[in-house]
Structure 1
Amino acid sequence: MFFYNISKTFLSNSRIISRLHPKSFPQATHFKLLQQYQSFYSSPQCYSNEPFLFLKSGPYSVANSTPQPAHLQKVYDKTLKEFHENESEMMVSSLQGSLLTLLCKLMNAKKVLEIGCFTGYSALCFAEGIKNSGTNAKVVTCEYDQKYAKIALQNVKEAGKDDLIEIKIGDGLETIRKFDKSTVFDLIYIDADKAGYINYYETILERNLLSEKGLIVADNVLFSGYVERLPNYDPNAPKSSENHIPKEIYKRIVVPLYNFNEHVNKDSRTTNLLLPGFDGLMLIQKN
């Protein structure tokens, strides 16, 4: 019932609209609210690069959440300042970073694997979540681009977390294929090349890299709302159409993510939940 009730509640322009039974209030009011919901859901503002998918809720949510430690905020601000918007968007939002920290704490995680490091901000968020988990606590993060890896290493050292974070440079898939068979992680975060998501997922399961009660979190699986548009995609549709997907991301990003979501959802080995928050988070556990 919990997930059922969640799915019946929608956020529109910073207001909560609950889809209650028509008998709960006048029919005219019910129709008006339903119109508002449908109008919002089909509008461009439903899809956003704000910290949450819903345009106006991000700043309010940040303001009503516990602030991050100074060393995390420093790396976050530095990344936004030094990188063009097209690059800095590869970094998770500060609100999502706080969620990653909290997930580690709730799970009592000790070992975290991150595939896709960028400037090290998310790795530092994970480190914040496991820092009190004992002597064996470790975040292993993989980065293909040497430029980003170098920046991440500097940020990690300046934050004083190099004892908790190990950065592995090179192809992420090859890196995880080389792990010792006894290596397991409590939380595995996938945020790298979207075309590789299925291969990462399959390798994690085939090599038993996930602990029995562990969690896989795959990021960007909705990709600004474009992934769910794929079945109705029209290459000739105008940008304002719900059937429009930018050509530059259609094959490279949207199709692979759609296939990944379908692949995971049909896999009897795991249980999954796709959250329509941030840019789409797929949570996965082994059965």
Structure 2
Amino acid sequence: MSLNTFFSRSRIILRSQNSHFKLSQQLFFHSSPKRYSSDAFLLKESGTYAIAHSTPQPPYLQTVYERTHKEYPADGHMMVSQLQGSLLTMLCKVMNASKVLELGCFTGYSALCLAEGIKGNKGRVISCEKDEGFAKVALQNVKETGMDDLVEIRIGDGLNTLQSFEKSTHFDLIFIDANKSGYVNYYETILERDLLSNRGIIVADNALFYGCVQKVPNYDPNAPETSENHIPKGLYDNAKNLHRFNEHVTKDPRTTNLLVPGFDGLMLIRKDS
């Protein structure tokens, strides 16, 4: 069976063409052109199976998730999947985090997932959103779920928000999911202002961006859509910015990083001691 696998956050769709299973499979991230991988762990049942064998999210999180997709059908890609939301909750719990910062709030779903992970720690999630409309919706969702004692929504640019904190402020987890052109500046500001606790981690979303980031070094604007080097015109700028970020982090001796090829790519970063 040759496998054409379409990977969209936690959903995997597989189409079979013949009866022989081959481990060298063609992987598709969302609807982007194909790339090849020797890793055969992304199979048809992975997403559904993983959700079925993970602790369900509380009903209030499921409600916000479903409402967001219903009210913003064209912007649903801006929200993390439920499985990724559960991962954010788990990371906070495993780290025993109490102070969390999010850059890029959208409707507040991911902020609430983070808050679910710090319940009982007398902590707080500060979530920054530049769009006033989305921030208003996020604030409403936070209040309706009764989590306003744990989540603070701030309206404003992510970089300005980072620069507004006192240097004595330290966060256990910083989740970056804002404008992709700002990732390097966010990262540098976090480190320069010492906003990450010694045991803390930065989690940067979309580090692979529809499977386009790894194509940036060999990008050919004239390549046909079937080419390995093709990047859709509307995705190139973000892919280029994220490649710059990935390269910047990887070459930085101040930190240790791990780029996880799951969801849309998660870059995990911690300071070296």
1:187 aligns with 2:169: no
Q: How many residues end up aligned between the 2 structures?
A: 247
Bigger Cα displacement from structure 2, 125-134 vs 96-105: 125-134
> Which 5+ residue runs of structure 2 have no aligned equivalent?
6-19, 32-40
1:60 aligns with 2:49: yes
Bigger Cα displacement from structure 2, 58-67 vs 154-163: 58-67
- Give 3-state SS (helix, strand or coil) of 2:78's partner: coil
Residue 99 (structure 2) aligned to one of 102, 111, 114:
111
Q: Which amino acid aligns with 2:58?
A: P
Asked whether the 8 Å contact 1:47–1:54 carries over to 2, the reply is no
Could you tell me how far 1:233 is from its partner in structure 2? 1.3
Partner in structure 2 of residue 202 of structure 1? 188
Asked whether the 8 Å contact 1:47–1:55 carries over to 2, the reply is no
In 1: Cα distance, 2:110 partner to 2:29 partner: 23
Asked whether the 8 Å contact 1:48–1:55 carries over to 2, the reply is no
CA separation of 1:244 and 1:55: change in aligned 2, threshold 3 A: farther
Residue 78 (structure 2) aligned to one of 72, 79, 90:
90
Partner in structure 1 of residue 88 of structure 2? 100
Partner in structure 1 of residue 271 of structure 2? 286
Q: Name the structure with the higher strand share.
A: 2
Could you tell me how far 1:12 is from its partner in structure 2? 8.9
> Which 5+ residue runs of structure 1 have no aligned equivalent?
1-10, 14-31
In 2: Cα distance, 1:232 partner to 1:127 partner: 40
1:215 aligns with 2:201: yes
In 2: Cα distance, 1:230 partner to 1:37 partner: 26
Asked whether the 8 Å contact 1:120–1:156 carries over to 2, the reply is yes
Across the aligned residues of Structure 1 and Structure 2, the Cα RMSD in angstroms comes to 1.9
In 2: Cα distance, 1:55 partner to 1:78 partner: 29
- Give 3-state SS (helix, strand or coil) of 1:177's partner: helix
Q: Which amino acid aligns with 2:69?
A: L
1:265 aligns with 2:254: no
- Give 3-state SS (helix, strand or coil) of 1:186's partner: strand
In 1: Cα distance, 2:266 partner to 2:54 partner: 19
Q: 1:230-249 counterparts in 2 under 5 A?
A: 230-249=216-235
TM-score by length of 1: 0.82
In 1: Cα distance, 2:23 partner to 2:134 partner: 41
Partner in structure 2 of residue 79 of structure 1? 68
CA offset digits 1:189-227 (Å, max 9, x no partner)? 000000000000000000000000100000000011100
In 1: Cα distance, 2:43 partner to 2:213 partner: 18
TM-score by length of 2: 0.86
In 1: Cα distance, 2:128 partner to 2:213 partner: 25
Q: Which amino acid aligns with 1:197?
A: Y
CA offset digits 1:37-81 (Å, max 9, x no partner)? 33x1xx3x43237xxx94622122111111100000000000011
In 2: Cα distance, 1:168 partner to 1:180 partner: 16
Q: Which amino acid aligns with 1:64?
A: H
Q: Which amino acid aligns with 1:200?
A: Y
Structure 1's consecutive aligned runs of 4 or more residues displaced over 6 angstroms after TM superposition are none
Q: Work out the percentage of aligned pairs sharing the same amino acid.
A: 63
User: Which protein has the larger Cα radius of gyration, Structure 1 or Structure 2?
Assistant: 1
CA offset digits 1:228-267 (Å, max 9, x no partner)? 011221212222221110111212x010000000000000
Residue 28 (structure 2) aligned to one of 27, 46, 49:
46
In 1: Cα distance, 2:116 partner to 2:267 partner: 22
